[in-house]
């Protein structure tokens, strides 16, 4: 699932690895996620180390007794010189990146193949840990991350080029359900408040 909205999301300011908190709207999204997750028998949860993901996970899991583990490899992709900047002020370089991010990375940004590799390693470790007979016990897990991370992983599962990354919509507070090697749903938002 993707973390709740931040003030930076609302302003269309690039967050990347900047460590910002969720907004009041993000908290409402996390509370809606908690309600949507109630029927699921979660055995564990994993989160990006960035505050917006951790806060979302903590709210969504409140009172459930589900252990939350922070996984550094689930952090959002670094966007270099664009961090903290508004999308509208970047002009043509942003438009090229939005159309083909693999071919047009932001200056100083983390290469998408490196993001895919670290996210893939993290998800594989989680899957091994929760496989039948695994050390953490089999069962359904929750992963709370970021739009870029979820989109990169979805591209990998679907066998898409990373240039297709931004063609996948992953809203704040949405659920994406994956049972590797299948992507079951992406960007479920029916549980979110208007």
> How many Å apart are CA 32 and CA 174, to the nearest integer?
10
Written as six digits, the tokens of 168 are 């996948």
What is the tens place of the pLDDT at every residue in 30-73? 999 999 999 999 999 999 999 999 999 999 999 999 999 999 99
Three-state secondary structure call for residue 49: coil
Q: Which residues contact 103 (CB under 8 A, 6 or more apart)?
A: 96, 163
Q: Answer whether 37's CB lies under 8 Å from 60's CB.
A: yes
Query: Is residue 138 predicted with pLDDT exceeding 90?
Result: no
Q: Helix-strand-coil percent breakdown of the chain, rounded to 5? A: 45, 15, 40
Report, as an integer, the average pLDDT of 160-164.
98
Q: Which residue has the higher pLDDT, 134 or 53?
A: 53
Written as six digits, the tokens of 61 are 């899991």
Query: Is residue 135 predicted with pLDDT exceeding 90?
Result: no
Q: What is the pLDDT of residue 80?
A: 97
Q: What is the pLDDT of residue 134?
A: 84
Domain boundaries, the chain: 7-188
Q: What is the pLDDT of residue 74?
A: 98
Q: Answer whether 27's CB lies under 8 Å from 3's CB.
A: no
Report, as an integer, the average pLDDT of 95-105.
97
Cα dist. 15→18, 39, 80 in Å?
Answer: 5, 32, 10
* Residue 194: how many other CB atoms lie within 10 Å: 2
Q: What is the pLDDT of residue 136?
A: 84
Active site residues: 3, 76
Homologous superfamily of the 7-188 domain (CATH): Phosphoglycerate mutase-like (3.40.50.1240)
């Amino acid at each position: 699932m993707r973390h709740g909205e931040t003030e930076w999301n609302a302003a269309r300011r690039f967050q990347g690895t900047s460590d910002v908190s969720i907004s009041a709207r993000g908290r409402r999204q996390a509370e809606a996620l908690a309600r949507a997750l109630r029927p699921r028998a979660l055995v564990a949860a994993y989160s990006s180390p960035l505050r917006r993901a951790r806060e979302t996970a903590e709210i969504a899991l409140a009172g459930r007794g589900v252990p939350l583990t922070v996984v550094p490899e689930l952090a959002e992709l670094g966007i270099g010189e664009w961090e903290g900047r508004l999308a509208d002020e970047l002009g043509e370089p942003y438009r090229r990146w939005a159309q083909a991010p693999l071919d047009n990375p932001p200056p100083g940004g983390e290469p998408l193949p490196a993001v895919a590799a670290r996210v893939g390693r993290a998800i594989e470790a989680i899957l091994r840990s929760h496989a039948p007979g695994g050390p953490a016990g089999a069962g359904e897990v929750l992963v709370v991350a970021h739009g870029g991370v979820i989109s990169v992983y979805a591209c990998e599962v679907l066998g898409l080029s990373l240039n297709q990354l931004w063609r996948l919509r992953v809203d704040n507070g949405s659920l994406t359900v994956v049972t590797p090697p299948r992507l079951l749903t992406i960007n479920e938002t029916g549980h979110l408040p208007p």
